[in-house]
Chain A
Amino acid sequence: EPEVTQTPSHQVTQMGQEVILRCVPISNHLYFYWYRQILGQKVEFLVSFYNNEISEKSEIFDDQFSVERPDGSNFTLKIRSTKLEDSAMYFCASRSGEGRFTQPQHFGDGTRLSIL
């Protein structure tokens, strides 16, 4: 069964550094998402992306965050200048374009981001 793939599985970065989290969505999917889960807290929506532009973003997704689909397969989340509070598990998800939003989002295994 097709999967969403995220790399790396664990990223350790110094505060203030830039970090890029990478995702390869399922190949025929059209909608892409990032979520994050701070340890012990809820999974929170960050951003949705469709047709090469952001569809919606949450309050968390401030100017330090950006997303990009640089080619036909990758979907990246960049944090420009990391803060301690960015430490979390980041999940990428993708969804088929069939049936509007009736299809489930499929998630990757996540990237654990640790900011020192």
Chain B
Amino acid sequence: AQSVAQPEDQVNVAEGNPLTVKCTYSVSGNPYLFWYVQYPNRGLQFLLKYITGDNLVKGSYGFEAEFNKSQTSFHLKKPSALVSDSALYFCAPDATDKLIFGTGTRLQVFP
């Protein structure tokens, strides 16, 4: 079965510090990879994607993600966290035109 693992339910980080939200996946083929963010009472907002090429991709709000094919991972990173980054983050491989979601990781950035 296809699946996504986000091993940390919550990540806590101080404002200004770097952050990493981890994601590994088990999806057949070479799926396109996406990160989404969800703020309270809102839908899923696209952050960034990996399609092909450079393993480090950049997205919205200063976020970037690193693709590792051998480890089937796609970790989300940001060099300097902001309090406003606090939200729920979802890694989502695209398995032939449907997104597979994990349980999400809640990012809490403290002032």
Q: Which residues of A contact B98 (CB under 8 A)?
A: 33, 45, 48, 56, 58
Q: Are A48 and B90 in contact (CB under 8 A)?
A: no
Q: Give Cα distance in the complex from A14 to B44, angstroms.
A: 28
Q: Closest A-chain residue to B52, C-beta based? A: A102
B67 contacts partner chain A, Cβ-Cβ < 8 Å: no
Number of contacting residues on B, CB 8 A? 22
Q: Give Cα distance in the complex from A79 to B32, angstroms.
A: 31
Q: Are A42 and B103 in contact (CB under 8 A)?
A: yes
Q: Closest CB-CB distance, B31 to chain A, in whole Å?
A: 9
- Given A42-B102, A101-B32, A104-B49: A109 touches B41 (CB 8 Å cut-off): yes
A55 contacts partner chain B, Cβ-Cβ < 8 Å: yes
Q: Give Cα distance in the complex from A110 to B42, angstroms.
A: 7
Q: Are B43 and A108 in contact (CB under 8 A)?
A: yes
Q: Are A104 and B34 in contact (CB under 8 A)?
A: yes
Indicate which residue in A35, A55, A109 contacts B99 across the interface (CB closer than 8 Å).
A35
Dominant secondary structure of chain A at its interface with chain B = strand
| Chain B stretch 40-71: residues in CB contact (< 8 A) with chain A | 41-46, 49, 51
Q: Closest B-chain residue to A33, C-beta based? A: B98
Q: Are A44 and B44 in contact (CB under 8 A)?
A: no
Q: Which residues of A contact B100 (CB under 8 A)?
A: 45
Residues of A within 8 A of B (CB): 4, 6, 31, 33, 35, 41-45, 48, 55-56, 58, 91, 93, 101-102, 104-110
Q: Are B45 and A31 in contact (CB under 8 A)?
A: no
Q: Which residues of B contact A110 (CB under 8 A)?
A: 43
Question: Which 4 A-B pairs have CB atoms at the shortest separation, nearest pair first?
Answer: A107-B43, A43-B101, A104-B46, A107-B44
Q: Which residues of A contact B104 (CB under 8 A)?
A: 42
Indicate which residue in B32, B36, B97, B102 contacts A48 across the interface (CB closer than 8 Å).
B97
Q: Are B97 and A55 in contact (CB under 8 A)?
A: yes
| Chain B stretch 1-57: residues in CB contact (< 8 A) with chain A | 32, 34, 36, 41-46, 49, 51
- Given A45-B98, A102-B51: A109 touches B103 (CB 8 Å cut-off): no
Q: Which residues of B contact A35 (CB under 8 A)?
A: 99, 101
